[in-house]
Structure 1
């Protein structure tokens, strides 16, 4: 991004809001009049099924945009909950419209972010019901390892994992008891080491072999972006 792009992005959000662990940032069914930028902390995106069960669709990390799919609906499609203390900044629909009108490159990058989100959901659908709990756990841990690594939050393949086994079960569609059983199996197999809130991936190669899908790596150069150099 150019200096102008960075400046426009920094000005996009409103005042910084501190969030407490367990705080509901936005609730499913409420009016959607913009989205949130996650500046610090972890946030979950979840939906409540008619049978009362909760499904966590996404774990959001710093730098993520929260609630953007709801911009296409009259009300929020998901509930955003702070899993740790953190900070957010609200982006109004008016601010987003002004950005799209004034900065084509950032508009295109928002489009790219939406496509990456779609790929994530496509992979989740592909593996749901077609892969074992251990395979899906391997994919989840590798995804977090890669995303946290890009933020400088991984050391010696270890990272802070501030979520309960019940939450992991809500992500993978299994019970907390099953999550515990899978983690113990992975630990015995020399794949992971889980102590307190620290997760250590002991053998990335074997974990990748057990994952039902590859970890997607975005292209570093996008010739279709406005202002990008044409590829010969």
Structure 2
């Protein structure tokens, strides 16, 4: 009887643990990642004028790391929070190696992509132009991580259209039931694309010192 009671208690605890681990992800989970990204991208020690694209690459990798670390069921979406986080993770995981292999990140690629430097519509230049442009936005004083990604989509698609290149498509086999909800648009439409700002934060003084040291005015990256 005692063994049976212990087994039942253990089963209940185990079941409760599984249920807790499989809770649906919430806006609060994503808000946490937005704050992590904000704190990282606003810090001038992560800025680089010699290789601007590194900030955007680090930004994407940090978002990827944060989403992976969330303690919720990343496959479940809800009416309140309709984003399939696992699918979002898969998309970013496919894009980071592209930036690395084009030498747009801090680490060196073990399999660098061959680039036609004479062709300004080579995929390399499309990636370079957009990653640098978004990095510049992230270096502005009041940049929002969610807005950076809203800028990324039209930049990459617009550059490809200008160069007459086909747009990448999502594999229908990996689409979630009901279709894919663009996470960046969903964050904005839900009212969760918010400015995280504290006037007393010493980061802002460090930003101004950095701009002065690099002979840039306050509006350099607006």
More contact order relative to length (CA 8 Å, sep ≥ 6): 2
When the two structures are superposed, what TM-score results if normalisation uses the length of structure 2?
A: 0.32
**Higher relative strand content:** 1
Give the structure with the higher percent helix.
2
